[in-house]
RNA sequence: GCCGGAGUGGCGAAAUAGGCAGACGCGCUGGACUCAAAAUCCAGUGGUGGCAACACCGUGUCGGUUCGAGUCCGACCUCCGGUACCA
């Protein structure tokens, strides 16, 4: 066998050791301080691990290992978010049970993760599709059901008769199914909703207590969208009904010139006159056929129909025509608005299109050109009792006026809507709910949980829009053995988010069949100290989990109001991609050098036609020197077959279609897991988006190789360079500065600079003849969170027979961190002219005296008058001269 | 449009509290070792000028504050992420 650093033997050896010895087992209720460090668990897809997953996992692993060295009892678990659509779609195609697909995908993921040497406590592994897990997901649902936080509502779904199934919003394009192009209709269906809106205020207010990225907190605030305003009632002319609207700007009531109802608004029928009925019905049908996406994104041009009805403006008794339009959404506010076209761009466009009056009520704009919307501190006009008032006072005055007369009141409105919790799918948690013959609902008794997913051969949709469970008659019908009463089971299943809302709690007590987790253990481990994952879950997963956690807090299951105190998002890892361009018919292939770019789009140089990018796999790219005769010439990427076609290099999200996916397995087998981990952390700050360059892994492998050769000889034994004894002062200083730097950087999650410090120390040690053990050992410990396999191997070679995982972290000696002398930059008028080595104890006068006699400084001071001397000890000396 | 983040060598990046811009790695160049190559080791590497000492320029753009600005302030440009008829 080849001597030298060989990760392919070292790494499996230590991985097996850690597993056998359960090295990373977390101890429930130990005397040590606890540290709960959590990764966002993955969906085990068929395509395996991606280089993006291990980025966050490596970061948390470094921290987990570091905390163990620092004497913490660390909980660092991993599991599988394994319900979901891909396994079900695969089942429909191949007939393979999603459970089998899940089992084999989990095995692949687990193998890949274990080969990276992460220090998870595998005894706590969880899987959301395990009945002993989803029993508790169902249990939590029941607690919500009991507290009226889960309720049934008629909610439209994207129903596709052509496919006989319900589609997700992203599966619908232009009102047609993505697959097959069949028409899609909005069909109301009775579905479960979770009353997250009941927690809106707490979800919003408690954000302030969290150490989370400001951007995520801001996204959640926007998502919740709490707005203060007023609800105002507009009586309908000739009807007992009133139209209630929500507005953030009651001050503009005098500017209202018409009303608009959402097409689905319940009052539409009542206000519509017979003459308008046909038109109104036609418009309603058209709106019903559009998906939400179309109604918002695509329909920029205002459409609508007059109902024939009128409402009375409560502030001035003016009659306002009532229209319907799909720019008003039934799901926000009251589903109806007062239109103030002078000061709202949407209303302005609508008024222009249908020739409705536009009135100015806040001074300052030109409402003949556009709505004047910068009206936060304007002065009211044309507004009766409000004339001359500033906006803020007008809002108060009119709200009080409305309240006094019972025509409206101050109100708070949220953008957040209740959570649609039903899916018409097989591969999800069944609801623990029964329907009586009369259609009323009943909870499955808790002792009968879990409600198991039934076995079936067919995962195909039922054809009615119900889930495949609806076709399994033997499962659906249920007769109470005592009373003989007959029930039917709920056939919808829960969405993929469900299991993720509480998984961090199950790690605490993963095998408990009496409770979702033991209260004592919960109090010990919670809250999560650090949660790391991708920013794509900024809103939904993190908001839903906070919601469930607060529900569990209210019923006394958990002891903290929030699940995770600190959150960090790792930035996405991108890949270099190379592309040329083709026209629609693909008859021509053009390079970057042959096309024109306009607004980021490639255009044909002659026809001006917009060209489509065509990606080439990175391995196919031919590199060509710009100047063949110049050895230093830059190289450019070229098409492999076409001589003159230069490729465009772009950095983009990794995807199969772009040919820029990097497979971690390949990197690990070629360079080793330690080098892979090191590179992922060395690329740049964790939170930042950054491109992958496989060359960089090679640099890390070289570093590890140099560390190995520093301490080991050619036979794989401890090098004779390693000696007993103490280091000299310069080496001791180096070591302790590195200890301080690496410790600080790990705490700050600045792993890239911590690694740079380790490389520097290694480079320095290579110049030494002898490496004292008292230097080698701390060095190996400092390296161990980053490159644990190599560190264990070196630790063993240094004569230890146990893992280094719980060895105390080296402590920096403060007295060795300060140098006796410092190199001081000397400036004249802010420009560096020389440097001066001075003792840190030198006085200002001594330093200045030495500095002015430096030749280059003297030259710049010659014939000038010093007007000011700035001296910051140990930092800078600057002479301002005239 | 709105919200959030980022612009620094050929590339990834670093710079604690306003104090030597470019640590560290990749790449590249030269050299050593070698029959040769790989690996390894040594040296160099922001640009321009100069034999050199050194000088000038240089952190997206324009302006400001300061003895001194990558860092602070004002205006703008570009890119990335999120979100969007939310009344």
Residue A2, pLDDT score: 42
- Cis before A90 (ω within 30): no
Question: Which protein residue lies nearest to nucleotide B82, measured between its Cα and the C1' atom?
Answer: A219
Residue A477 CA to B78 C1' — how many Å? 62
Which helix (H) or strand (E) covers residue A519, if one does?
Answer: helix A519-525
CA-nearest of A152, A224, A223 to A194 is: A152
Average pLDDT rounded to a whole number, residues A22-38: 94
Question: Which protein residue lies nearest to nucleotide B85, measured between its Cα and the C1' atom?
Answer: A327
ipTM: 0.94
Residue A775 CA to B30 C1' — how many Å? 35
- Tell me the percentage of chain A whose pLDDT exceeds 90: 57
Residue A137, pLDDT score: 97
DSSP tally for chain A: helices H, then strands E = 26, 38
d(CA A218, CA A538): 10
- Tell me the percentage of chain A whose pLDDT exceeds 70: 96
pLDDT for A845-881, tens place per residue? 888 988 888 888 888 888 888 888 999 888 899 998 8
Q: Considering only residues 564-623 of protein chain A, which place a Cβ less than 7 A from any atom of strand B?
A: 600
d(CA A803, CA A642): 56
Q: Which pair of structure tokens corresponds to residue A143?
A: 């607690």
d(CA A249, CA A391): 9
Residue A629 CA to B23 C1' — how many Å? 34
d(CA A407, CA A450): 51
Residue A581, pLDDT score: 85
Q: Considering only residues 850-879 of protein chain A, which place a Cβ less than 7 A from any atom of strand B?
A: 856, 868, 870, 872, 875-876, 878
> Is A263 (CB) below 7 Å from strand B?
no
What angle separates helix A673-682 from helix A751-765, to the nearest 10 degrees?
120
d(CA A737, CA A756): 13
Q: Considering only residues 283-322 of protein chain A, which place a Cβ less than 7 A from any atom of strand B?
A: 295-297, 299-300, 302
Q: Which pair of structure tokens corresponds to residue A506?
A: 């199950």
Residue A705 CA to B27 C1' — how many Å? 20
Residue A291, pLDDT score: 59
Contact call for residues A91 and A459 (beta carbons, < 8 A): yes
Show which positions of strand B are touched by protein (CB under 7 A): 3-5, 10-16, 19-21, 23-30, 39-42, 54-56, 67-69, 79-87
> Is A220 (CB) below 7 Å from strand B?
no
> Is A411 (CB) below 7 Å from strand B?
no
Average pLDDT rounded to a whole number, residues A613-618: 82
Contact call for residues A238 and A304 (beta carbons, < 8 A): no
Residue A626 CA to B52 C1' — how many Å? 33
Question: Which protein residue lies nearest to nucleotide B67, measured between its Cα and the C1' atom?
Answer: A880
Instruction: Give the Å distances, CA to CA, from A88 to A73, A567, A767.
Output: 39, 32, 60
Set out the domains of chain A in order of their start, with CATH numbers: 35-142+504-570 (3.40.50.620), 227-413 (3.90.740.10), 573-656 (no CATH), 664-816 (1.10.730.10), 821-881 (3.10.20.590)
Range A734-762 burial, b when 16+ CB lie within 10 A, else e:
bbbbbbbbbbebbeebbbbebbebbbebb
| Most trustworthy range by pLDDT among A252-256, A582-586, A632-636 | A252-256
Residue A1, pLDDT score: 33
Determine the distance from the C-alpha atom of residue A501 to the mean position of all C-alpha atoms in its chain, rounded to a whole number. Answer: 15
> Is A86 (CB) below 7 Å from strand B?
no
pLDDT band at A166 (very low <50, low <70, confident <90, very high): confident
Residue A298, pLDDT score: 47
Average pLDDT rounded to a whole number, residues A278-282: 94
Which nucleotide is closest, CA of A872 to its C1'?
Answer: B19
Average pLDDT rounded to a whole number, residues A669-683: 95
Q: Which pair of structure tokens corresponds to residue A499?
A: 């299991």
Backbone angles phi, psi at A814, to 5 degrees: -50, -40
Residue A836 CA to B55 C1' — how many Å? 20
Average pLDDT rounded to a whole number, residues A209-215: 88
Range A182-193 burial, b when 16+ CB lie within 10 A, else e:
eebebeebebbb
Average pLDDT rounded to a whole number, residues A191-211: 92
Which nucleotide is closest, CA of A683 to its C1'?
Answer: B12
Average pLDDT rounded to a whole number, residues A71-75: 97
Average pLDDT rounded to a whole number, residues A380-386: 91
Q: For the residues of A359-384, what is the DSSP string, one character each? A: ---BTTS-TTTS-----TT-BB-S-G
Q: Which pair of structure tokens corresponds to residue A198?
A: 């009941």
Average pLDDT rounded to a whole number, residues A126-134: 97
Q: How high is the mean pLDDT of chain A?
A: 89
Residue A113 pLDDT > 80: yes
Question: Which protein residue lies nearest to nucleotide B23, measured between its Cα and the C1' atom?
Answer: A756
Instruction: Give the Å distances, CA to CA, from A804 to A265, A772, A782, A793.
Output: 68, 19, 11, 10
DSSP A468: G
A362-369 long-range contacts, Cβ below 8 Å, gap at least 24?
A362/A251, A362/A252, A362/A255, A362/A391, A367/A341, A367/A342, A367/A343
Strand ranges, E, within A60-161? 73-75, 79-80, 126-127, 150-160
Residue A633 pLDDT > 60: no
> Is A689 (CB) below 7 Å from strand B?
yes
Which nucleotide is closest, CA of A652 to its C1'?
Answer: B80
d(CA A647, CA A637): 5
A783 backbone φψ class: left, alpha, beta (φ>0; ψ -120 to 50): alpha
pLDDT for A522-537, tens place per residue? 999 999 999 999 888 8
> Is A835 (CB) below 7 Å from strand B?
yes
Residue A853 CA to B65 C1' — how many Å? 32
CA-nearest of A302, A118, A214 to A786 is: A118
Residue A784 CA to B58 C1' — how many Å? 40
> Is A650 (CB) below 7 Å from strand B?
no
Count Cβ atoms below 10 Å from residue A42 Cβ, excluding itself: 21
d(CA A267, CA A518): 52
Contact call for residues A148 and A448 (beta carbons, < 8 A): no
Residue A222 CA to B83 C1' — how many Å? 9
> Is A350 (CB) below 7 Å from strand B?
no
pLDDT for A735-784, tens place per residue? 999 999 999 999 999 999 999 999 999 999 999 989 999 999 999 999 99
> Is A636 (CB) below 7 Å from strand B?
no
Question: Which protein residue lies nearest to nucleotide B25, measured between its Cα and the C1' atom?
Answer: A699
pLDDT for A288-341, tens place per residue? 776 555 665 545 678 899 999 999 999 999 999 999 998 898 888 999 999 999
> Is A826 (CB) below 7 Å from strand B?
no
Residue A111, pLDDT score: 95
pLDDT for A826-850, tens place per residue? 998 888 888 888 888 888 888 898 8
Residue A599, pLDDT score: 61
Contact call for residues A44 and A83 (beta carbons, < 8 A): no
DSSP A294: I
């Amino acid at each position: 066998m080849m001597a030298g650093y060989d990760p392919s033997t070292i790494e499996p050896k230590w991985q097996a050791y850690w597993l056998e010895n359960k090295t990373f087992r977390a101890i429930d209720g130990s005397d040590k301080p606890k540290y709960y460090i959590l990764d966002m668990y993955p969906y085990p897809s068929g395509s395996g691990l991606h280089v993006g997953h291990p980025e966050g996992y490596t970061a948390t692993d470094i921290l987990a290992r570091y905390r163990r060295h620092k004497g913490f009892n660390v909980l660092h678990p991993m599991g599988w978010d394994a319900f979901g659509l891909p396994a079900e779609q695969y089942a429909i195609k191949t007939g393979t049970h999603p459970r089998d697909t899940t089992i084999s995908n989990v095995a692949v993921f687990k193998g890949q993760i274990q080969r990276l040497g992460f220090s998870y406590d595998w005894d706590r592994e969880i899987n959301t599709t395990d009945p002993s897990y989803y029993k508790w997901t169902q249990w939590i649902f029941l607690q919500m059901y009991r507290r009226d936080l889960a309720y049934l509502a008629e909610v439209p779904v994207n129903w596709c008769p052509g496919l006989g199934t319900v589609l997700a919003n992203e599966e619908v394009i232009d009102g047609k199914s993505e697959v097959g192009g069949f028409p899609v209709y909005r069909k109301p269906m009775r579905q479960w909703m979770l009353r997250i809106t009941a927690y809106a205020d707490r979800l919003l207010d408690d954000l302030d207590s969290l150490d989370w990225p400001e951007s995520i907190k801001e996204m959640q605030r926007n998502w919740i969208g709490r707005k203060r305003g007023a609800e105002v009632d507009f009586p309908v002319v000739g009807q007992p009904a009133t139209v209630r609207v929500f507005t953030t700007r009651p001050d503009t009531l005098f500017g209202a010139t018409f009303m608009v109802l959402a097409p689905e608004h319940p009052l539409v029928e009542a206000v519509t006159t017979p003459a308008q009925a046909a038109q109104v019905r036609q418009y309603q049908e058209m709106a019903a056929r559009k998906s939400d996406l179309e109604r918002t994104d695509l329909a920029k041009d205002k459409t609508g129909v007059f109902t024939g009805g009128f409402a009375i403006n409560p502030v001035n008794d003016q009659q306002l025509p009532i229209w319907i339009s799909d720019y008003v959404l039934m799901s926000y506010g009251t589903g109806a608005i007062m239109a103030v076209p002078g000061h709202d761009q949407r209303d302005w466009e609508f008024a222009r299109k249908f020739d409705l009056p536009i009135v100015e009520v806040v001074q300052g704009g030109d409402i003949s050109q556009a709505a004047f919307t910068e009206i936060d501190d304007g002065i009211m006009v044309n507004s009766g009792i409000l004339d001359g008032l500033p906006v803020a006072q007008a809002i108060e005055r009119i709200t009080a006026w409305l309240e006094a007369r019972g025509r409206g009141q101050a109100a708070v409105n949220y953008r957040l809507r209740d959570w649609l919790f039903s899916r018409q799918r097989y591969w999800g948690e069944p609801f623990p709910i029964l329907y009586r013959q009369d259609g009323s609902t009943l909870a499955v008794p808790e002792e009968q949980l879990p409600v198991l997913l039934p076995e079936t051969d067919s995962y195909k949709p039922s054809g009615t829009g119900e889930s495949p469970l609806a076709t399994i008659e033997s499962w659906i019908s249920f007769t109470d053995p005592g009373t003989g009463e007959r029930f039917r089971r709920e056939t919808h299943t829960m969405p993929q988010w469900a299991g993720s809302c509480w998984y961090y709690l199950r790690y605490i007590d993963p095998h408990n069949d009496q409770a979702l987790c033991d209260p004592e253990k919960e109090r010990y481990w919670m809250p999560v100290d650090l949660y790391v994952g991708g920013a794509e879950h900024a809103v939904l997963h993190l908001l839903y989990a906070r919601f469930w956690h607060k529900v569990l807090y209210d019923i006394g299951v958990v002891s903290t109001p929030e699940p995770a105190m600190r959150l960090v998002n790792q930035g996405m890892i991108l890949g270099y991609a190379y592309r040329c361009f083709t026209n629609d018919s693909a008859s021509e292939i053009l390079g970057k050098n042959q096309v024109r770019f306009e607004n980021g789009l490639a255009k044909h140089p002659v026809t001006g036609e917009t060209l489509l990018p065509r990606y080439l796999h990175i391995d196919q790219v031919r590199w060509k020197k710009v100047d063949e005769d110049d050895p230093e010439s830059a190289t450019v990427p070229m098409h492999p077959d076409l001589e003159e076609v230069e490729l465009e290099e772009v950095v983009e999200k990794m995807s199969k279609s772009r040919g820029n996916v990097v497979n971690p397995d390949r990197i690990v087998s070629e360079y080793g897991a330690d080098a892979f981990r090191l590179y992922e952390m060395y690329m740049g700050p964790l939170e930042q988006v950054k491109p992958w360059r496989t060359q960089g892994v090679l640099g890390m492998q070289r570093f590890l190789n140099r560390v190995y050769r520093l301490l080991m000889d050619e036979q794989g034994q401890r090098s004779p360079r390693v000696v007993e004894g103490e280091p000299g002062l310069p080496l001791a200083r180096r070591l302790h500065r590195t200890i301080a730097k690496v410790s600080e950087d790990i705490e700050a999650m600045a792993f890239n600079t911590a690694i740079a410090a380790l490389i520097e120390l290694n480079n320095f040690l290579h110049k030494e003849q002898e490496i004292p053990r008292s230097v080698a050992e701390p060095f190996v410990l400092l390296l161990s969170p980053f490159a644990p396999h190599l560190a264990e191997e070196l630790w063993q070679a240094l004569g230890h027979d146990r893992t280094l995982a719980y060895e105390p972290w080296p402590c920096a000696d403060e007295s060795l961190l300060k140098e006796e002398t410092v190199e001081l930059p000397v400036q004249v008028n802010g420009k560096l002219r020389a440097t001066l080595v001075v003792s840190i104890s030198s006085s200002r006068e001594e330093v200045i005296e030495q500095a002015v006699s430096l030749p280059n400084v003297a030259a710049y001071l010659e014939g000038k008058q010093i007007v000011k001397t700035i001296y910051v000890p140990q930092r800078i000396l600057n002479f301002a001269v005239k």
